[in-house]
Amino acid sequence: MAFMAAAATAPSSSSSPLQLHKHAAARRSAPALLLRRPRSRSHRNQLVCSLDATKQAVQEERPAAVNGVAGRTDCYGVFCTTYDLRADEETKAWKKVVSVAVSGAAGMISNHLLFKLASGQVFGPDQPIALKLLGSSQRSFQKLEGVAMELEDSLYPLLREVSIGIDPYEVFQDVEWALLIGAKPRGPGMERADLLNINGQIFAQQGKALNAVASRNVKVLVVGNPCNTNALICLKNAPEIPSKNFHALTRLDENRAKCQLALKASVFYDKISNMTIWGNHSTTQVPDFVNARIDGKPARQVIRDTKWLHEEFTKTVQKRGGELIQKRGRSSAPSTAVSIVDAIQSLVNPTPEGDWFSSGVYTNGNPYGIEEDIVFSMPCRSKGDGDYELVTDVTIDDFLWERIKKSEAELLAEKRCVGHLIGEGEEELCEVTEDTMLPGEQ
């Protein structure tokens, strides 16, 4: 296990970034240790070297140590610099550091997301952040080092700690947010069932790790596809964390739907509100024009072209990811990163009066009659405390309901495929239907 972390002692809060770099240079040759920030003022001048031998991880699921020595850590650069964070918090009235894990941290989406997180754009200008970057293998460790170097060179004042690792039991320790982006793309000739199984294993392991070591109120956002079913697998493997804390990212679909309505209505997209994506992040998703509003009016009062709404709008949103791949040669990354930011901000800020946002959440007593025990995208509101409630004042007409049932059926089929990963039976032959595709698949 290799790990890189900041610790806390001098320099003082008045240190300039340049001074921090000088300290970094001085520490670059320091022996490799797991450096943890002291938790109290009395420990400020200590470096705590901990190998945490008591961790009860499932050993056979854990990767081998990167440098061949279990518990050894690698530390370099400005994030090894010791500093007095508490003094910073006091003088600048900063909040307590928020600890955020990101898997797939060397991938394309993270390439955009990490810099938004570090800049303060996501959690706010008074919110220092610790980033814990998770890779999948020894091979990826070097890439993570490269990512950490770029973060270091960006001199973000709010970025107080960066650690990298390939063991989720280490990386997820005490994290308050887990942004699970890392997943295998579908390779040539790979069946959807294989994808569900391979990525499902990843999310089962990460769910177990979160259950073992993360904050008891960690918020988990699953991005890696197929994200709804991966989120279900993750939450089923983390029984000690509230199921309500798990989300599958459908915010990109919501943003795409808003863009299409704005284009059709010839308005700027900030005029579109109350946009729901129902169901799976797949080509069965249901972008809801029935409840959407344009400049405060029902979308159907502004866009009178029912055929367009029923046929083109729905299909365009469902297949937007695929169209983008065709044109760009790779799947959406910057817009996905933006939508992850939107999704987090929707949970940490109060939802504007009368509006809502979409998220793939666990169906447990939902008011719409959607099958329970799956992860389904639905309209949510938040008070800004990280939690959410489902919106009840929506109309579901026959058009929507018919399509919602289709997406529900797809998710139930996916759930049957991964029964062996959620403690519900043996591995079964997966029913792959034509509809069971990611937005990016043709």
The catalytic site residues sit at 281
Candidates 8, 80, 179, 183; binder of ligand NDP (CB under 6 A) is 183
- For the bound state, the minimum distance from the C-beta of residue 326 to ligand NDP, rounded and expressed in Å, comes to 15
When asked if residue 103 is in the footprint of ligand NDP (CB under 6 A), the reply is: yes
Q: Name the binder of 183 from ligand NDP, ligand OAA, none, CB < 5-8 A by kind.
A: ligand NDP
Among residues 143 and 416, whose Cβ is nearest to ligand NDP? 143
Which residues 234-253 are close enough to bind ligand NDP by CB under 6 A? 249, 252
Task: Choose between 138 and 215: whose C-beta lies nearer to ligand NDP.
Answer: 138
Query: Closer CB to ligand OAA, residue 225 or residue 243?
Result: 225
Does 108 bind ligand NDP (CB under 6 A)? Our answer is: yes
- The residue range among 45-53, 98-106, 262-270, 402-410 that interacts with ligand NDP, by the rule CB under 6 A, is 98-106
The least distance separating ligand OAA from the CB of residue 252, rounded to whole angstroms, comes to 6
Q: Which stretch binds ligand NDP (CB under 6 A): 68-76, 128-136, 294-302, 389-397?
A: 128-136
- Output the smallest distance, CB 277 to ligand NDP, in A: 10
42-50, 74-82, 87-95, 101-109 -> range binding ligand NDP (CB under 6 A): 101-109
Whose CB is nearest to ligand NDP? 107
**Which listed range, 132-140, 256-264, 346-354, 381-389, lies at the site for ligand NDP (CB under 6 A)?**
132-140
Residue 104's binding partner out of ligand NDP, ligand OAA, none, with CB under 5 to 8 Å set by partner kind: ligand NDP
Residues that bind ligand OAA (CB under 6 A): 225, 252, 321, 331-332, 438-441
Least distance from ligand NDP to the Cβ atom of residue 222, Å: 8
- How far apart are CB 311 and ligand OAA at their closest, in Å? 20
The alpha carbon dihedral of 52, 107, 192, 245 has a sign of positive
Member of 332, 382, 407, 436 binding ligand NDP (CB under 6 A):
332
374 near ligand NDP, judged by CB under 6 A: no
Name the binder of 279 from ligand NDP, ligand OAA, none, CB < 5-8 A by kind: none
Instruction: Supply the minimum distance, in Å, between the C-beta of residue 27 and ligand NDP.
Output: 27
Is 200 a binder of ligand NDP (CB under 6 A)? no
Nearest to 113 by CA among 295, 246, 232, 252: 252
Contact flag: residue 135 with ligand NDP (CB under 6 A): yes
State which amino acid sits at residue 200.
Answer: G
**Cβ at position 191, least distance to ligand NDP in Å:** 16
The rounded distance, in Å, linking the Cα atoms of 60 and 82 is 35
The residues facing 102 across adjacent strands are 133, 179
Nearer to ligand NDP, 229 or 291 (CB): 229
Which C-beta is closer to ligand OAA: that of 269 or that of 368? 269
Find the shortest distance in angstroms from Cβ 365 to ligand OAA.
28
Residue 278, both tokens: 């129902």
Torsion of CA 8, 12, 15, 19, to 10 degrees: -60
- Unique residue bearing structure tokens 């759930």: 415
| 3-class SS letters over the chain | CCCCCCECCCCCCCCCHHHHHHHHHHHCCCCCCCEECCCCHHHCCCCEECCCCCCCCCHHHCCCCCCCCCCCCCCCHHHHCECCHHHHHHHHCCCCCEEEEEECCCCHHHHHHHHHHHHCCCCCCCCCEEEEEECCCHHHHHHHHHHHHHHHHCCCCCEEEEEEECCHHHHCCCCCEEEECCCCCCCCCCCHHHHHHHHHHHHHHHHHHHHHHCCCCCEEEECCCCHHHHHHHHHHCCCCCCHHHEEECCHHHHHHHHHHHHHHHCCCHHHEECCEEEECCCCCCEEECCCCEECCEEHHHHCCCHHHHHHHHHHHHHCHHHHHHHHHCCCCCHHHHHHHHHHHHHHHCCCCCCCCEEEEEECCCCCCCCCCCCEEEEEEECCCCCCCEECCCCCCCHHHHHHHHHHHHHHHHHHHHCHHHCCCCCCCCCCCCCCCCCCCCC
Positions in the binding site for ligand NDP (CB under 6 A): 103-104, 106-109, 134-137, 139-140, 143, 181-185, 202, 223-225, 227, 249, 252, 281, 331-333, 336
